[in-house]
């Protein structure tokens, strides 16, 4: 109850103190100019005073104290220092962060869990849960101070894409997923009211905890008198209602902005193209899954312009595309994070550069120093500044072709790989016969549509597809976020069966699941 009152008071203050463009520009330029100082301040505030801090333990194991780190930063610069720290064992692999494996550094071994990384300098106003990767969703302690920095990122996006005064709507799930409420609050902090909050799942689903159902209903009431109107989440399983809003907003204003998943944007574009409706003037701000070249082409064919961004609940905004960015490319938000690549071998044997993040924002939910987030891709640095707003403010790092190491994503929702391992190794063979090598899950893309394919070996004989899909759904619904994923996938037709032998990797392994391939490798032949 006390936390609820604190949330209500904080929300009203947060919405009254809206974010401006000039404040956002100062935030970015100051962050670029003082990255090293911000890192050292973070160590002084959130690492050195806490003996149990994972990073104090790793730094101590590497023979480093506060003075030696200061000397490294001032002598070599922040980026080279973080690379040196990473090479010296000061990093946290994603499995170590989750507590799945010990962090072994030489003869030393450390056991961590996600709460160990919570920022000790902030007081959480609410807990936001991620969509889940190899876990059932990781809680992140969010403060309104943190949300304000996310809104500053949003203000830069608005300038970059000229969308600050447009009518806006959000098409993200209501709680228990954090994407919807975080997006609604962040965009509202920019001073405008959202027309609609469309949700891929029902806000009052009885399978969701009572506290979260009440939050879905009460959020709009808490904003009365602030001058900002927050809409109540409205179940929208097909694009029809969203297209109706788009047509109305475009007719009234000429331009509008929709915030959603890339695959939801593809569904909207397909429906518009099929019905002969032009979405010219609509900017679609997407995040949560890769905006592939095929998806980008489909959205553009409808007349809409895609605005791609990249981030996570634990780390916040990580990248924003500008109109000049290539497909699957974003500007890394180097004023609040440092990103390095650490070579890692995927389950299929392909070596990729896993992203390692260091957070420089004082209000960040997690303290991160070379912390993996289970993603990989390409990191590039511009020789000359981009002509966009971020480029003019000094941002020169880009991220390209971002993929998840272990995520299985379809329709903007994710499920841990362990859930598929359980189905493949135990549940499906026990129910339908055969062995684990006769089953495989595949994340794929068909004409821009996300699909989760259940591969069945023909040797299994006749199997009722509806029955096996029912067993898969039941297995995935063991967790709250698993129920969210299966509900979204069922409504969108993203869960399908394929009668085909599971495809081995180049090393001959048959994995229980395969993720969407990155550039130049991975995945199955002929995908």
- Domain range for residue 447? 408-515
**Averaged pLDDT for residues 301-313:** 93
Q: Which of 309, 331, 353 is the last residue of a domain?
A: 331
Task: Clarify whether residues 425 and 322 are in a common domain.
Answer: no
Give the 3-state secondary structure of 469-521: HHHHHHHHCCCHHHHHHHHHHHHHCCEEEEECCCCCCCCCCCCCEECCCECCE
78-87 and 66-76 helices cross at what angle (nearest 10)?
130
Evaluate whether 338 touches 79 at the Cβ level (below 8 Å).
yes
Tokens of 201: 């799942």
Query: Is residue 200 a part of any domain in this protein?
Result: yes
Q: Which of 331, 346, 374 is the last residue of a domain?
A: 331
Cβ-proximal residues to 148 (8 Å cutoff; 6+ apart), any chain: 14, 17, 19, 189, 363
Q: What is the dihedral of CA 256, 260, 266, 271, to 10 degrees?
A: -60
Tokens of 78: 């922040």
Strand-pairing partners, residue 432, are none
Task: Clarify whether residues 510 and 421 are in a common domain.
Answer: yes
Percent of the chain having pLDDT more than 90? 53
Distance CA(51)–CA(74), nearest Å, equals 25
Query: Is residue 382 a part of any domain in this protein?
Result: no
Residue 414 maps to which CATH number? Answer: 3.30.300
Task: Clarify whether residues 146 and 242 are in a common domain.
Answer: yes
- Residue ranges of the alpha helices (H) in 321-392? 389-392
Task: Clarify whether residues 189 and 312 are in a common domain.
Answer: yes
Q: What is the pLDDT of residue 520?
A: 39
Judged by phi (left if over 0) then psi (alpha if -120 to 50, else beta), residue 461 lies in: left
- Of 41-50, 123-132, 436-445, the least confident: 123-132
Q: What is the pLDDT of residue 106?
A: 95
Query: 44 falls in which pLDDT band (50, 70, 90)?
Result: very high
Strand-pairing partners, residue 307, are 285
Task: Clarify whether residues 305 and 413 are in a common domain.
Answer: no
For 491-514, write each residue's pLDDT tens digit.
667 788 999 988 865 445 567 777
Task: Clarify whether residues 235 and 325 are in a common domain.
Answer: yes
Measured at the alpha carbon of residue 480, what is the angle toward residues 10 and 288, in degrees to the nearest 5? 70
Measured at the alpha carbon of residue 134, what is the angle toward residues 214 and 131, in degrees to the nearest 5? 30
**Is the full-model pTM beyond 0.85?**
no
Residue 194 maps to which CATH number? Answer: 3.40.50.980
Task: Clarify whether residues 319 and 422 are in a common domain.
Answer: no
Highest mean pLDDT among 57-61, 291-295, 345-349: 57-61
pLDDT reading at 134 higher than 50: no
- Neighbour count for residue 436 (Cβ, 10 Å): 16
The closest of 485, 461, 417 to 261, measured between CA atoms, is: 485
């Amino acid at each position: 109850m006390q936390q609820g009152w604190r949330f209500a008071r904080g929300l009203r203050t947060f919405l009254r103190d809206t974010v401006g463009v000039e404040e956002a520009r100062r935030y970015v330029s100051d962050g670029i100019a003082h990255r090293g100082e911000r890192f050292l301040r973070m160590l002084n505030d959130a690492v050195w005073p806490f003996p149990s801090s994972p990073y104090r333990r790793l730094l101590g194991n590497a023979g480093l104290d506060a003075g030696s780190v200061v000397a490294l930063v001032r002598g070599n610069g922040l980026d080279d220092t973080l690379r040196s720290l990473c090479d010296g064992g000061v990093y946290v692999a994603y499995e170590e962060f989750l507590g799945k494996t010990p962090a072994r550094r030489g003869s030393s071994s450390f056991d961590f869990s996600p709460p160990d990384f919570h920022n000790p300098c902030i007081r959480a106003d609410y807990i936001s849960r991620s969509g889940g990767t190899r876990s059932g969703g990781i809680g992140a302690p969010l403060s309104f101070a943190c949300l304000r920095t996310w809104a500053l990122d949003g203000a830069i996006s608005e300038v970059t894409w000229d969308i600050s005064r447009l009518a806006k709507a959000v098409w993200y799930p209501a709680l228990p997923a954090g994407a919807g409420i975080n997006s609604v609050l962040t965009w509202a902090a920019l001073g405008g009211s959202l027309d609609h909050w469309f949700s891929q799942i029902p806000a009052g689903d009885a399978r969701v905890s009572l506290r979260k159902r009440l939050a879905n209903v009460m959020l709009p009431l808490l904003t009365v008198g602030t001058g900002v109107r927050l809409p109540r989440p409205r179940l929208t399983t097909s694009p029809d209602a969203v297209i109706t809003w788009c047509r109305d907003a475009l007719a009234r204003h000429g331009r509008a902005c929709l915030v959603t998943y890339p695959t939801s944007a593809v569904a909207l574009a397909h429906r518009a193209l099929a019905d002969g409706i032009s979405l010219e003037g609509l900017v679609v701000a997407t995040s949560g899954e890769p905006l592939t070249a095929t998806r980008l082409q489909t959205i553009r064919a409808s007349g809409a312009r895609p605005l791609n961004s990249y981030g996570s609940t634990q780390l916040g905004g990580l990248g924003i595309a500008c109109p000049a960015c290539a497909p699957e490319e974003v500007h890394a938000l180097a004023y609040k994070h440092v990103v390095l690549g650490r070579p890692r071998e995927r389950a299929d044997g392909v070596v990729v550069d896993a992203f390692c993040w260091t957070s420089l924002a004082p209000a960040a939910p997690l303290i991160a120093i070379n912390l993996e987030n289970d993603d990989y891709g390409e990191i590039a640095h511009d020789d000359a500044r981009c002509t966009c707003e971020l480029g003019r403010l000094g941002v020169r790092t880009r991220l390209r072709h971002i993929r998840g190491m272990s995520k299985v994503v379809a329709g903007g929702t994710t499920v841990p790989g362990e859930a598929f391992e359980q189905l493949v190794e135990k549940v499906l063979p026990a129910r339908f016969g055969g062995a684990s090598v006769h089953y495989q899950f595949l994340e794929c893309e068909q004409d821009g549509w996300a699909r989760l394919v259940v591969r069945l070996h023909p040797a299994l004989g006749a199997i009722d597809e509806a029955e096996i899909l029912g067993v898969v759904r039941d297995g995935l619904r063991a967790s709250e976020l698993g129920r969210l994923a299966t509900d979204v996938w069922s409504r969108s037709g993203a869960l399908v069966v394929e009668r085909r032998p599971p495809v081995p990797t180049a090393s001959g392994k048959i994995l229980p699941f395969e993720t969407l391939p990155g550039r130049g490798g991975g995945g199955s032949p002929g995908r």
